[in-house]
Amino acid sequence: MRKNTIVFAVFLMLPLSLYAYNISAISAAGFPFSNSDLNIDGMEIEDFEDATLANGLNVGTGDTVNLTTNFNFNTDIVNSSALAWDGTNSLGVTSSFTWLEFTPGTRSVAFGVSDAESTTPDIVLFNGSTAVSVFNNPFSSFGGFGNGVRNFYFRIDAQEGEADIERLRLDISINFPMTIDRVAFGVATTPPIPEPSSFFALLLSGLILFKIRKN
Ligand SMILES: [Ca+2]
Ligand SMILES: [Ca+2]
Ligand SMILES: [Ca+2]
């Protein structure tokens, strides 16, 4: 009985511990949010309300990893208060590949997603010239999709021992554009809200320890 319990534990915990980088999201249902609500206190913020990008952030489009920064406020910004996560402007994600490039030392990145359909967006994380981790439609588990509305506030955190977040590539089908806004990046002073899976893992390990000790 004891042996069975331990095997069961390893089997369930393994996929969780191998999951690279921490991905989480906050539902748009509680909009508007303060920085504290979003756990982005102390991070740099780009709100896309003017033509200048925050220091440490580049935005570009193209199909190779060699990002040529080509952010153009006049053509890349979508003006809609229904989609914005602050102010009235957002970055339109209308190309197949839209790149966000961050200053060295960036450990956490977060942004609001709006106007996204459930079938299209993917996020690919690049370090150097290599895609080190691919999140195949990470949005699918977050729900809240729909055109013309805010969907959720996405977040990725590098865990201890993992490389900095250099670049994220947002992949969409050009027939299904979306927008992002209130990009936060840097070193978070507050951790993301733990995922239900993390809670489950903690609960599970607690229960297993209890059971092992009892035996
Ligand atoms: Ca904005
Ligand atoms: Ca700006
Ligand atoms: Ca859309």
Q: For the CA atoms of the chain, what is the radius of gyration?
A: 19
Write out residues in the chain with pLDDT < 50, as ranges: 1-19, 196-210
**Cα 160 to middle of ligand 3, angstroms:** 35
pLDDT per residue over 27-47, tens digit each?
999 999 999 999 999 999 999
CA separation for the pair 156, 145 (Å, rounded): 19
**Closest ligand (CA of 172):** 3
Q: Report whether 30 contacts 43 (CB < 8 A).
A: no
Residues 6 or more apart whose Cβ sits within 8 Å of residue 46: 53, 54, 57, 182, 183, 185
Residues 6 or more apart whose Cβ sits within 8 Å of residue 198: 16
**Cα 148 to middle of ligand 2, angstroms:** 23
CA separation for the pair 35, 188 (Å, rounded): 11
**Cα 43 to middle of ligand 3, angstroms:** 28
**Cα 85 to middle of ligand 3, angstroms:** 16
pLDDT at res. 188: 82
**Cα 45 to middle of ligand 2, angstroms:** 8
**Cα 176 to middle of ligand 2, angstroms:** 25
Q: Which residue segments constitute the domains of the chain, with CATH numbers given?
A: 22-193 (2.60.120)
Task: Tell me the whole-structure pTM to 2 decimals.
Answer: 0.79
**Cα 192 to middle of ligand 1, angstroms:** 21
